[in-house]
Amino acid sequence: MPTLTTYQTRIIPDWVDYNGHLRDAFYLLIFSYATDALMDRLGMDSNNREASGHSLFTLELHLNYLHEVKLDAEVEVRTQIIAHDQKRLHLYHSLHLVGGDKALAGNEQMLLHVDLAGPRSAPFSEATLSKLQAIVDGQSDLPVPDYIGRVIALPPQK
């Protein structure tokens, strides 16, 4: 299984800045919608969230801007599950022109499964764990993305 295409959209005028490029905040909006779509695929849609009282919270994310994205571009997000445990999900989204190979942006996320009544962390259901593991197994031949585990820092002064 290759990366999952989790979201597609056209870049609209409200999302574009004074340079004619997608505003930095809207990259994250697009990736957020892709995370929502992944949640739906895992059976964690709005009906499930209401019934179970559980959801995913974002603990941390890193966003890398790699190439310009312009008005009216048709883009898609491809998602790779990097790892998961009983409560957390580590994933990577990449933004591409629809059907294109070149990554325009990359987004690494760490998500936590949460019981909203607390809120406090809670283990995934067996059904969700099974779906997660099936995706991981299907993506086992994919390379680790280039922009995983990066740290923001200036190089040491000489």
Which pLDDT tens digit goes with each residue over 73-112? 999 999 999 999 999 999 999 999 999 999 999 999 999 9
pLDDT bucket at 1, cuts 50 / 70 / 90: low
Specify whether the CB–CB gap between 94 and 3 falls below 8 A: yes
SS3 content of the chain, % helix, strand, coil (to 5): 25, 35, 40
Nearest to 31 by CA among 102, 106, 83: 106
The single-letter code of the amino acid at 107 is N
Average pLDDT over residues 2-20: 94
Separation of alpha carbons 133 and 117, rounded Å: 27
